[in-house]
Amino acid sequence: MHPRSRLVTLGFVAALAVGSGVLAVTLTSTAQAATVGAGSYTETLPAGAKLPAGCGTISTNPRQFVTANAPAGAVPTNDWWSSLLFKKGDDCNFSQALFAGPASYRPIAGGLGLSYQTDAAISGSATGLGEYHYPYAQHVVVGVAGLNAPRALVDGWSDWTVTPSWSDGTRTMKATIGHGLPTSFYRITGGDAQLSITGPPSVWQNTGGRIGFSIGGHDYVAYGPAGSSWTQSGNTLRSGLNGQGYFSVSVLPTLSSASTADKIALADTFGQFAHNHVTGTRMQYSYNAANGTVTTTYRVTTQNLGGGTPGAVIALYPHQWRYLTGSAPLSRTYVSPRGAMKILTGEQFQTTMRYSGVLPELPAAGDSSGADLAQITTLLNNELNNPADFRGNDTYWTGKGLGRAARIAEIADQLNLTGVRDSALNVIRTRLTDWFTASPGKTQRVFYYDRNWGTLIGYPASYASDEDLNDHHFHYGYFVAAAATLAKFDPAWATGSRYGGMVDLLIRDANNYDRSDTRFPYLRDFDIYAGHDWASGHGAFGAGNNQESSSEGQNFANALIQWGQATGNTAIRDAGIWLHTTQAAAINEYWFDVRNENFPSNWGHNYTAIVWGSGGAYATWFSGEHEMVVGINMLPMTGGQLYLGEYPAAVRNTYAEMVRNKGGEPVAWRDMLWQYLALGDPDAAMAKWRAAGSYTPEEGESRAHTFHWIRNLQALGQVDASVGANHPLAKVFSRNGARTYVASNITNTALTVTFTDGRTLSVPAGKTVASGATNWSGGNASGGGTVPPATTPPTTTPPTTTPPTTPPTTPPTTRPTTPPATTPPTTTPPGATTWAPNTSYATGAVVTYNGTRYRCIQAHTSLVGWEPPVVPALWGAI
């Protein structure tokens, strides 16, 4: 993530923004530090360092907003529902809107607000910055009659559900909501169930404890227990629930033109599962190395309170239903910010995806002889004295430099330029060892473990990786990737008795792969159901959580594959393969929309730089330049980013859109964009590189790597994702219909790689081999594959409320990562007009509605049901 001093968007979010082989380490701790092999981290907050900051005493008590029923261990962050627990900003009692898909929710004093939107609010232009959102626009508040709770707490969570809890001393309510659950489930005490509708509801069925109604063009059904009934009084529906204290509410996948008979038929289908209250969700994955596939099983557990069919109604995102095995979806679909969601009923579903492979680096098949060899040799020698070119001392910019040095080391090794290789490896070793050593009193280049939060924070932090717990996967992915490169040449450094344990802790902090390790939340940064990372620790934006640089998220996943393979740790390797394979599918769906099916048809862009819970943005946190808007989802370009080339036509289209929007070829970050273009048209990319002459590389890139990348894609051709292999470090390319098979062997023993089309490839120890239409062999990385010694991890659960040795510093009043939520305009607002539906409003327009003035904070055309009081994402009261 690059400097984000301000959010360069159009104003919308500115008002909102596993088993065996696990490396175990012995920790020996004192009051100040803990040793991990030869490495160490501190448990005393470094002087001047910031803790996670938010409402109340959350800095030292992250369980401030959870109930006694909540799971023990480290609290999760970086999730779709995180603003409910990690309260921050202008709502310290409830939360911002929670975008679960297909429904969205917002807790308030009277209960849980529900929204389902099928019309996108679009701003900007097809050639400039722009956004689309399906904003939270409240249709219903589900609660208990008279409920007026001072806050909503978190009563529990599972892999993709959360249970908020309300109590006002007399009445209580708990609701379970989740990704892919069109039904929300409620337990109440102290009064009647109450549904407060935004506007007069149109009731189309009220019988047998079930009431179906329409509001805002959408259909909802509330299901009470047997023997119960619902009564309507104006905009309020109530039920005594026959004294049972439970009910559920579903949003139906109906169109506005649906007949009453159609609605009732769907309500019947959903009703079979209405009283199976979801109590948990869990994902399990497996990597089949023999055929190169990844299988994921998504399970829902329920408690049957009132009969019916076992299971639940489940809505699948495109990256799930495209790879669905063993199930057949219903014909209906939901609209969502991620595209059409298909519906299943049952207790689980399963997907099977091809793991198409990663490489430590592209093989030198095109630049290992003649003039090209002379060119790359000169470029590499130019890096001899400064291979990392560090641009900062914090975790992000340190990581960028380490990543740069790792690319240079990999290429230099292939070409036997051992002096350049060793210079880069020495820089990596020295800098990582420094960061992995917590000397007494050290305040810089040091990692601090906070037992309350269950997180490992590096200082100096950057982009709120400390106070917001942002971006740990971005920052630490670079560290782990560089350590993986070093491990192949210096395996002793990477053992558990030396510094391998510290690398493992970085992995566990960002995305803990071990469910039994409660020191860190399971997969902190990765949304298991959405299929991708979230960057913000708190997600406290009106548009939900967000992820900008999906490619830096993939850099972390690839780093796990490389590190696991280099150290013989199959648990880490397989976790990386699952993350990488799942997220590659999600990125191609939701950032690049490679099939042109998921973005709103009238948005105008074929790419989004930021995925938000409610939509997407052709914009960045740090720049409005088109090159950076597009390039932020390409860096760092490594052998783990080849998934970007699986749809070469989309690559060419995305590059062409960038040129069209800019009005010419890129000026900034040209090297990143040329490397991306090379995945779709390597000849054109090389022509641009050769014609450019002198240029300024992207901050984590080198001329040597850019030339190597483009020249070798010229030789190899385009990625062929239809063929997998029985080895994690293997890839297939095709040029003019002829395939080249590539595999990298980082061990000291020869191996034979078998590809899924029957081709076999013999790979000597330490070599990378390309065979087929293009042939080459080289490299000397034979130190990988060493299995680290296993020791016993700590078994005690860290305390959750003990303050650190050093009191937290006062959080700043402004945060560079979080846009201000309530900053008033500097100009006098225009005169107000009365709000009206089907009217176009520009950002800054002022209207009155029921005697209150509102300012438009997102350009849009208002629809019925988007009245200012119920759409805080579009209108702010003044």
- Active-site annotation, residues: 471, 548, 552
CA distance 42 to 437: 9
CA distance 696 to 196: 59
861 strand-pairing partners:
840
Beta strands across the sheet bearing 738-744: 718-719, 730-735, 738-744, 768-772, 776-778
Which residues fall within 8 angstroms of residue 12, CB to CB, at 6 or more apart? 121, 123, 131, 133, 543, 617, 857, 858, 873
Which residues fall within 8 angstroms of residue 386, CB to CB, at 6 or more apart? none
**Residue 77 · residue 538 · CB < 8 Å:** yes
**Residue 721 · residue 648 · CB < 8 Å:** no
**Residue 628 · residue 2 · CB < 8 Å:** yes
Three-state helix/strand/coil letters over 188-209 = EECCCEEEEECCCCEEEEEECC
Beta-strand relationship, 172-178 and 348-354: unpaired
**Residue 711 · residue 372 · CB < 8 Å:** yes
Which tokens belong to 219? 């259909």
Q: What are phi and psi of 638, to 5 degrees?
A: -140, 180
> Residue 315 belongs to what H/E stretch?
strand 312-316
CB atoms within 10 A of CB 57: 12
The amino acid that residue 565 corresponds to is Q
What is the four-CA torsion angle of 361, 365, 371, 375, rounded to 10 degrees?
A: 0
Unique residue bearing structure tokens 């708990």: 174
Which tokens belong to 422? 């060793």
Could you tell me which of 335, 205, 220 has the C-alpha nearest to residue 270? 220
Three-state helix/strand/coil letters over 534-554 = CCCCCCCCCCCCEECCHHHHH
Could you tell me which of 190, 199, 96, 85 has the C-alpha nearest to residue 148? 190
CA distance 214 to 310: 27
CA distance 577 to 74: 25
DSSP 797: P
What is the four-CA torsion angle of 372, 374, 377, 383, rounded to 10 degrees?
A: -100
CA distance 462 to 45: 16
Q: How would DSSP label each residue in 240-282?
A: -GGG--EEEEEE----TT--HHHHHHHHHHHHTTTTEEEEEEE
Could you tell me which of 752, 708, 714 has the C-alpha nearest to residue 736? 714
**Residue 13 · residue 132 · CB < 8 Å:** no
CA distance 81 to 239: 29
Could you tell me which of 225, 227, 203 has the C-alpha nearest to residue 276? 225
